[in-house]
Structure 1
Amino acid sequence: MKILLYLMAIMSLMLANVHKDADTASCKKCHPTITKEFEESMHKHSSIYNDKIHKAVWDLHPAKAKGDYKCSKCHTPNAKTKEEQTQGITCLTCHTIKSITKDSKSNINNYNGEKKSFYSAEAGREKEKVVYKTTTSWWGNKTTVGSAYHDIDYTNKDFYTGNVCMGCHSHKQNSNQFDVCRIEEDGAKNEKENCITCHMPKIEGSATTVRISQKHSFHGFSGARKNSKMLAKYVDIDFVKNSKGFKITVENKAPHNLLTHPLRVVKLKTNIFRDSKKIELKTHTFVKIIGTDSKPTMPWLATEVVKDTMIKAKEKRVIDFEENLKSGDKIEVILGFYVVNPKALKKLNLEGDKEISEFKILKSQNFSVE
């Protein structure tokens, strides 16, 4: 009897804490694969304690002296203490978003506030709400439905279109009423292709140990900082030889700019390999720079777009090369990026940081000249 009471007490504590620790121990018990992916993601590392770039920008922000950390709305939405801030975004953050309120400055996440009630999406279950319950048959056999840790609501349409992402990822306006960054919401309207299907693609492995499935949605969240190679399939590179030289076409199949953050810089590097020699051609740069008075500034000071050569949504960017090609030449095309514009590293005190300053390859392709 004492053992039974002890087990019941432990279970009660676990259930009481599931809403508080929905990103760690409680979720990990039934979702080990998803939790492992999530703990390596930028969502998990979104706070100033885990994201060096975010901290570098915050260290220069005038609001830091006042302790007015408004970034917490998206970077640490569930945190009430410093310890909780280190957790960044949690499982609880996304799975309790009930709806999105649109606002000119930045959209707002509305959370359900109900303990143990989480939203999710699964094809074929769009009308289901799974509530935990146990029933007993006439013969005394017990049948359990749902999870003892939480109920699951599959009816929230925002989890099927990707609109659930738009509370934080739509846009951010500074005090000058200037959009520091913006992602068009066209990519969060279609159930077949949207933010979730691109950045959380279906991969091998079960979502839970309770009900085994062949695949699950990737919770590492592919993006510029993490798992960027998973996004390479949304970029096509083509080569055409002509009388003046050749053309390289870069097609961005995404419903938003190739990279959306104002600190990012995209580079196209092209090389010719001829008779065991490497000929490096001009590097082409694609960037969106914000600032004021035609000069780059920190985001909170910006009033205008200083320069914008970034490859746009659904755009095919054609780059002309006037180099004459010979039969047998090999053309190497490398499309990559810097997560922080090299020109901004000194200002942000990030010089010498290899992970931030290195050139990351998004996609590379080779072509042969006949």
Structure 2
Amino acid sequence: MKYLFFFFLLFHSQLFPKGDYPDNHSCKECHENIYDEYQTSAHSMGYFNDTLHRKIADAVSTKKYSCATCHMPMADNMNELIVGKARPDKSNKTHTDAVSCYFCHTIAYVKRAHKFNINIKARQAENYKPTLYGRLEKPDENDKHSSSSNPVYAKKVCMGCHSHKQNDNNVTIFRAMNEEQDSLECIKCHMPKVSGSAEKMDKRARGEHVSHRFLGIRDITFRKRGVDIGIATDNNKLIITLTNKMAHPLIIQPARAKFLKIEIVRSGKVIWQNYMKKPSEDRQGYFAYSFKRGGKRIIIPATATEGSVYNLNTKETKVLNYTIPPLEKGDIITVSLYVQLAKSECAKAIELEDKSLIEPLLIKEVILKL
């Protein structure tokens, strides 16, 4: 693993001379639509504008910033950040650009590794304009950069950061993809084609491009599509069927929780619900990571020695059974699936002031009227 780590640093250090980095804003000159889309995406959020990430990173260490490999991947002093000789610098564009345009479009290939995969960047020849990669068969050229199609963008480009992450104790603290998957599954959902050219001066008059909003859980329409919810009853049994239609598990990030809220209403009054105070009371309807160190439960997983996750895996169906009071005609059963971007105990552990991150966001709601 040490060999792979220094291999990554070697390639990273040869990307560009200091000061020659083409920042995100420079891309706007030709790619205004894509730049505006990107600005609304999670890729544009990093240490300085993502409060949750910064709080967790600082809770792990106020000296080292080991998250930089994925959350600040263009940092021109990556090694110093990781070993604790430097801190994130708000005046440094390679720090504030988060997961930058230049980073994603200069990945040559992805190297598989045990703790986390490694993005190997294209080496830039001195005094030559950079080559940016994509999936177009005949990409347009311009005076800012060369363009080239690279098969990694249909295969493994998302695997560098979105595959898996293990801490130093070999405990998995993040997993989104398996090694058999390719990036086309990700692109199909998270980067759908939209109308409009990818650049202001479209030499081939292309009428559409793939969206760079990187649609995700924060988009109210998008998040409805991932899970199907079925409701059935049998005497005093309530049967809930959950089917994950996504190409990744329901729970990926350790800070989040997704949970069911189930209510049976009769004549305007709730006669039964699946939990009283906290969603986690319903163990079969609460999806989240759990970590321990030395047998004691902890929230921040960086030092965990044990870890588990209750999940709805890729394409998996779970059938949940609840014992309920006898139903009557006119009863209304409502099943709602919610997400907390920061589960309550996580927010408490890092003293998160932004309470909106704790507020449940509705993913999907299904109603059955008897």
The interval holding the TM-score normalised by the smaller chain is 0.7 to 0.9
Partner in structure 1 of residue 74 of structure 2: 78
- CA shift, 1:190, in A, is 6.8
Q: Is the 8 A contact 1:238 1:248 kept in 2?
A: yes
Q: Relative to 1, partners in 2 of residues 1:315 and 1:294: Cα closer, same or farther, differing over 3 Å?
A: farther
What SS is found at the alignment partner of 2:76? coil
Shifted more, 32-41 versus 295-304: the winner is 295-304
Partner in structure 2 of residue 206 of structure 1: 197
Give ranges in structure 1 of 5+ residues lacking alignment. 1-15, 131-144
Partner in structure 2 of residue 309 of structure 1: 310
What is the rounded CA distance, in whole Å, between the counterparts of 2:272 and 2:35 in structure 1? Answer: 44
Q: Does 1:90 align with 2:100?
A: yes
What SS is found at the alignment partner of 2:339? strand
Identical pairs, percent: 30
Partner in structure 2 of residue 110 of structure 1: 120
TM-score relative to the length of structure 2: 0.80
What is the rounded CA distance, in whole Å, between the counterparts of 2:193 and 2:270 in structure 1? Answer: 39
Partner in structure 2 of residue 11 of structure 1: none
Partner in structure 2 of residue 12 of structure 1: none
What is the rounded CA distance, in whole Å, between the counterparts of 1:119 and 1:22 in structure 2? Answer: 16
1:290-329, aligned counterparts within 5 Å? 290-292=291-293, 293-305=295-307, 307-323=308-324, 324-329=326-331
Q: Does 1:273 align with 2:273?
A: no
- CA shift, 1:71, in A, is 1.6
1:164 to 157, 160, 174: 157
Partner in structure 2 of residue 282 of structure 1: 274
Q: Which consecutive aligned stretches of 4+ in structure 1 deviate over 6 angstroms post-superposition?
A: 16-19
Q: Is the 8 A contact 2:248 2:313 kept in 1?
A: yes
What SS is found at the alignment partner of 1:159? helix
Q: Relative to 1, partners in 2 of residues 1:53 and 1:187: Cα closer, same or farther, differing over 3 Å?
A: farther
- CA shift, 1:279, in A, is 4.2
Q: Relative to 1, partners in 2 of residues 1:70 and 1:309: Cα closer, same or farther, differing over 3 Å?
A: closer
What is the rounded CA distance, in whole Å, between the counterparts of 2:183 and 2:257 in structure 1? Answer: 29
What SS is found at the alignment partner of 1:346? helix
Q: Is the 8 A contact 1:270 1:331 kept in 2?
A: yes
What is the rounded CA distance, in whole Å, between the counterparts of 2:292 and 2:224 in structure 1? Answer: 30
What is the rounded CA distance, in whole Å, between the counterparts of 1:18 and 1:269 in structure 2? Answer: 52
- CA shift, 1:302, in A, is 0.7
What is the rounded CA distance, in whole Å, between the counterparts of 2:303 and 2:40 in structure 1? Answer: 32
- What whole-Å deviation, never above 9, does each CA across 1:8-30 have from its counterpart, x for those lacking one? xxxxxxxx999723411x32122
What SS is found at the alignment partner of 1:57? helix
- CA shift, 1:107, in A, is 1.0
- What whole-Å deviation, never above 9, does each CA across 1:50-93 have from its counterpart, x for those lacking one? 1111111122224x33xx32221111111227222122111001
- What whole-Å deviation, never above 9, does each CA across 1:248-267 have from its counterpart, x for those lacking one? 11111223220201111111
Count of aligned positions:
323
Partner in structure 2 of residue 49 of structure 1: 48
Q: Is the 8 A contact 1:291 1:298 kept in 2?
A: no
What is the rounded CA distance, in whole Å, between the counterparts of 1:151 and 1:361 in structure 2? Answer: 44
TM-score relative to the length of structure 1: 0.80
What is the rounded CA distance, in whole Å, between the counterparts of 1:234 and 1:80 in structure 2? Answer: 38
Q: Does 1:152 align with 2:147?
A: yes
Q: Relative to 1, partners in 2 of residues 1:151 and 1:17: Cα closer, same or farther, differing over 3 Å?
A: farther
Q: Is the 8 A contact 2:239 2:322 kept in 1?
A: yes
- What whole-Å deviation, never above 9, does each CA across 1:26-46 have from its counterpart, x for those lacking one? 321222221111112221112
Partner in structure 2 of residue 337 of structure 1: 339
- What whole-Å deviation, never above 9, does each CA across 1:320-341 have from its counterpart, x for those lacking one? 2322332333322210111122
Q: Relative to 1, partners in 2 of residues 1:39 and 1:346: Cα closer, same or farther, differing over 3 Å?
A: same
Partner in structure 1 of residue 12 of structure 2: none
What SS is found at the alignment partner of 2:158? helix
Q: Relative to 1, partners in 2 of residues 1:326 and 1:186: Cα closer, same or farther, differing over 3 Å?
A: farther
Given residue 153 of structure 1, which amino acid in structure 2 is its aligned partner? S
Q: Is the 8 A contact 2:106 2:132 kept in 1?
A: yes
- What whole-Å deviation, never above 9, does each CA across 1:96-120 have from its counterpart, x for those lacking one? 1010011112111111133331111
What SS is found at the alignment partner of 1:312? coil
Given residue 173 of structure 2, which amino acid in structure 1 is its aligned partner? V
- What whole-Å deviation, never above 9, does each CA across 1:217-257 have from its counterpart, x for those lacking one? 22121233x32641321211111222333211111122322
What is the rounded CA distance, in whole Å, between the counterparts of 1:17 and 1:146 in structure 2? Answer: 25
Q: Relative to 1, partners in 2 of residues 1:94 and 1:321: Cα closer, same or farther, differing over 3 Å?
A: same
Give ranges in structure 2 of 5+ residues lacking alignment. 1-16, 78-88, 276-284
1:119 to 115, 133, 146: 133
Q: Is the 8 A contact 2:235 2:327 kept in 1?
A: no
Shifted more, 92-101 versus 359-368: the winner is 359-368
What SS is found at the alignment partner of 1:164? coil
Shifted more, 327-336 versus 35-44: the winner is 327-336
1:180 to 173, 185, 191: 173
Given residue 171 of structure 1, which amino acid in structure 2 is its aligned partner? H
Q: Over aligned residues, Cα RMSD in angstroms?
A: 2.5
What SS is found at the alignment partner of 1:70? coil
- CA shift, 1:286, in A, is 1.5
What is the rounded CA distance, in whole Å, between the counterparts of 1:330 and 1:121 in structure 2? Answer: 49
Given residue 290 of structure 1, which amino acid in structure 2 is its aligned partner? F
What SS is found at the alignment partner of 2:348? coil
